[in-house]
Each structure stands twice: as C-alpha cells, then as structure tokens.
Amino acid sequence: MEQIGGAAEPVVGRGRELEGLEPLGAVPGEGSAEGPEPGVWRFSAVAHEAAVPQTRHAVRDRLLAQGMAGQQYQELIDDVLLIVSELVSNAVTHAAVLSPYLTAELRIGGGWVRISVEDGHPYRPRALESDLGQLGGRGLLLVKSVTLQAGGVCDVERTGEGGKVIWASLPIPEKSGSDQHEGPGALAELGFEPGLEEGQWSF
C-alpha cells in the first residue's frame, strides 16, 4: 500500500474489526499538533444495507483516531460521514445485483480528506438536477452539494476490472497561523487529479 506523507509504515490488517466489514489494509497513526496524521484505510463490506452504518462508524472512528476530535473538525466529519453514507447506500441500492461486495477507502494527507466507494457494477450514475424525485439521483446530488459547499472536488471513475469508484475530497480546516492545505499538488499526492471546476459534476 502506498505511503502518504509522514505516515508510519503500512500494516496490513490493522483497523477496526466490524462484523461484515473486512479491513483490507491500513496506515496507522495518531494526531499531532500540526493536524491529522496522514494515512490510507480500505474496508470491504457485503453490499447490504447494514454496510451503510458499519462503514460510517468505521470512518468516524478512524477520523477521530487520527486526531480529528477537535471542534474545528466537526463540520468536516459530519460532511464526510454524510457523503460516505450516501455513496455506500447508492452502491447497495444500484450495484448489488452485479457487485456483491463494495470497498470503501479513506485517505488523509496534504490537507485533504478523500472518501471513495468502489463497486463492480459498470453503470456510471448521473445525478439529474432536473429530476429531484429520483432517489438515486437525489442522493448523488446531495453528495455534490455538500462537496462543493465545503470547497471540495468529486468525480466517478472506471476501474480496471470494469466497475467504478465514486470519490469526494474535502479540504481539512487550517489551523490558525498554519498553511495546512497544500492545494492541487497535495491532491495529486493522494492519487488523483482534481479536474472539476466549481459547478461541474460528471455523474
């Protein structure tokens, strides 16, 4: 697993054990005065409705463990948990027929938090702003809205196995007198290029 920033050496299998949620790998660490400790965590879950609260709780616990327990991070944590809940719910609802498992990934590094959900279904969803009555589209529109309001970026990409990964990246609040947010270069370090401008959405 790729190391991010100054994180400790990767330890495969380290993470919170949850019934039905299998840790695939982790870069462990603890928070510091400079901000959250960077790292990467991946979890596999059965594409069932129970995966929504399981994944949400796992992500919340990891964010807190990495040093994001302060009040300044509360809005970011709320946004990340809402996004991961919607993305997992979307995968369970629309992809389970062809993808019995899903994988959630949390990345912290360079002043950004990136959350993604991958499934094996080839369908590329579209959030139809003109039809808010569609449940799937409405959930993805919520992801879009929360991400943009937080100053983040989001997209959907194909995987090499024919499935897709939907991700959203949100900036970590800067501490007073610091320059924690490192901009586009930090996004590239997290493994992707932010190709979307504000107001654009490719679902």
Residues 6+ apart with CB under 8 A from 154: 143, 144, 147, 166, 167, 168, 169, 196, 201
- The pLDDT of 5-18, averaged and rounded, is 32
pLDDT 10s digits, 45-92: 999 999 999 999 999 999 999 999 989 999 999 999 999 999 999 888
Residue 6 included in any domain? no
CA gap 8, 128 in Å, rounded = 42
Residue 32 included in any domain? yes
Q: Is 50 exceeded by the pLDDT of residue 159? A: yes
Burial of 164 (0-12, 13-18, 19+ CB in 10 A): buried
pLDDT band per the 50, 70, 90 thresholds, residue 176 = low
- The helix (H) or strand (E) run that includes residue 46 is strand 39-46
CATH number at residue 175: 3.30.565.10
Q: Is 60 exceeded by the pLDDT of residue 1? A: no
pLDDT 10s digits, 100-156: 889 999 999 999 999 999 988 887 666 533 333 343 456 788 998 999 999 999 988
- pLDDT, averaged across the chain: 73
pLDDT 10s digits, 192-202: 444 433 333 33
| pLDDT for residue 35 | 79
| pLDDT for residue 169 | 97
Burial of 16 (0-12, 13-18, 19+ CB in 10 A): middle
Residue 185 included in any domain? yes
Determine how β-strand 164-171 pairs with β-strand 112-119: antiparallel
Q: How far is CA 166 from CA 19, 59, 113, 159, in A?
A: 24, 16, 14, 10
Residue 110 included in any domain? yes
Q: Is 70 exceeded by the pLDDT of residue 188? A: no
**Sign of the four-CA dihedral 150, 147, 69, 39:** negative
Residue 199 included in any domain? no
- pTM here is 0.69
| pLDDT for residue 17 | 34
Residue 201 included in any domain? no
How many structural domains are present in the chain? Answer: 1
Q: Is 70 exceeded by the pLDDT of residue 25? A: no
Residue 174 included in any domain? yes
Q: Which domain holds residue 152?
A: 21-189
Residue 39 included in any domain? yes
| pLDDT for residue 197 | 36
Residue with the larger pLDDT of the pair 183 and 49: 49
Residue with the larger pLDDT of the pair 26 and 96: 96
Q: How far is CA 152 from CA 14, 54, 128, in A?
A: 28, 24, 20
- The pLDDT of 160-185, averaged and rounded, is 74
